[in-house]
Amino acid sequence: MSISTVLKPIVFQVSLWRGTTLSENDYDAFAAAYQADNENNAWNAYYERPAILSMIADVAGLRVLDAGCGGGAHAAALLDRGAILTGIDSSAGLLEIARRRLEGRAQLRLVDLNEPLPFDDGSFDLILASLVMLYLPDWSRPLAEFNRLLSQSGRLVFSTHHPFMIIRRPATIIISRPTALTRPGSAEERTSPCASGIDRSTPYLTRSRQPVFRLIS
């Protein structure tokens, strides 16, 4: 198994209300707005998506798992290149968007990446995880599962936000008022009380960075 990675220096804020953390199923409440932003914003449309698709290259006839497929933007491109595609996501709302978009060309399943994945060993030749790992509190389980699911010569290609970069882009879908970092440069994202009324930290960046980035290097 080989691992390729694209590092993207922009963190998408997922804060909602004081004292709460956005969970996977919360995406159902604003799936259409989230997908529209994800599909059309400059970072995804002109940076991450072209970069990761160029790394994947030829997928004709390959069994591909799109882990965290969302509304199906990457899946559509891979299907057009001849992939045999399975998409999984934890949001039923985003999967419904993907179903309408892909029109039955892919198998789509509601799956939580924090849990064991419902596929046999060696089921896939390629696994794509585009900007999804950063939402997981522990990367050990999903990476172990990806390793199990890949064929002998299979590849994992994933992109993630750089854990040391300061947030520069507001989450206009969820909140439009400003936030701030109290510990710039740290692997821990922390929003301090400001106009948005949000005060919380997101320590998953620190936890996940330790084993995973040593592995890739």
- Please state, for a pLDDT cut of 70, what percent of the chain lies above it: 60
174-201 confidence digits (pLDDT tens): 433 444 444 443 344 444 444 444 444 4
Report the alpha-carbon distance of residue 160 to residue 51 in Å, rounded: 12
114-125 confidence digits (pLDDT tens): 999 999 999 999
Q: Phi/psi at 150 (nearest 5 deg)?
A: -80, 145
pTM here is: 0.67
CATH number at 96 reads 3.40.50.150
More confident residue, 74 or 192: 74
The verdict on residue 111 lying in a domain is yes
The verdict on residue 170 lying in a domain is no
Based on the structure, what is the number of domains in the chain?
1
The verdict on residue 54 lying in a domain is yes
Q: What is the pLDDT of residue 160?
A: 84
Query: What is the domain extent for residue 30?
Result: 2-10+22-164
The verdict on residue 195 lying in a domain is no
The verdict on residue 215 lying in a domain is no
**Which of 13, 24, 55, 22 shows the shortest CA–CA distance to 157?**
55
Residue whose structure tokens are 């968007």: 97
The verdict on residue 101 lying in a domain is yes
Q: What is the pLDDT of residue 211?
A: 47
142-174 confidence digits (pLDDT tens): 999 999 999 999 999 999 876 554 444 444 334
